[in-house]
Amino acid sequence: MSEFAPGTRVRVRLDWPELRGPVHIRTPHYVRGREGTVLRPLGRFANPEDLAFARPAAVLPLYHVRFEQRALWPEVVAADEVVVEIFGPWLEAA
C-alpha cells in the first residue's frame, strides 16, 4: 500500500466487500471507482473495518480526499466539492 502526499490524484478501489459477507465499511459507495485528490493525510489509525468485529486491526493511513461534485453526481449544476475521509487500502494512484 502506498502513502499519498497532498495533491496526489487517487482512485478509490471499485470493490464491494459487503457482497461477500458481513462487513463494516467506512468508504461511501458513491466514491468507489471515482478519482479525487488527496488534500491531506490525517494520521494513522486502527482499521475500523476490523475493530467493528473485535478483530486485531492494522494501523492504516487515513486521508481527506476531495472529489468534484459533478464527478460523483453529473446532474448537479453547482461546482462544489465533496471531502471524504478514506483509509489508505481503499486508494490507488490514478
**35 has which bridge partners?**
11
Q: What is the pTM of this model?
A: 0.90
Each residue's pLDDT expressed in tens, for the chain with a length of 94 residues: 579 999 999 999 999 888 887 788 889 999 999 999 999 999 999 999 899 999 999 999 999 999 999 889 888 877 899 999 999 999 999 9
The beta strands (E) that lie in 50-90 are given as: 59-68, 81-87
Distance CA 23, CA 94 (A): 26
Angle at 32 between CA 11 and CA 12, to 5 degrees: 25
Q: Answer yes or no: are the C-beta atoms of 12 and 32 closer than 8 Å.
A: yes
Sorted by where each starts, the structural domains of the chain and their CATH numbers stand as: 9-93 (2.30.30.50)
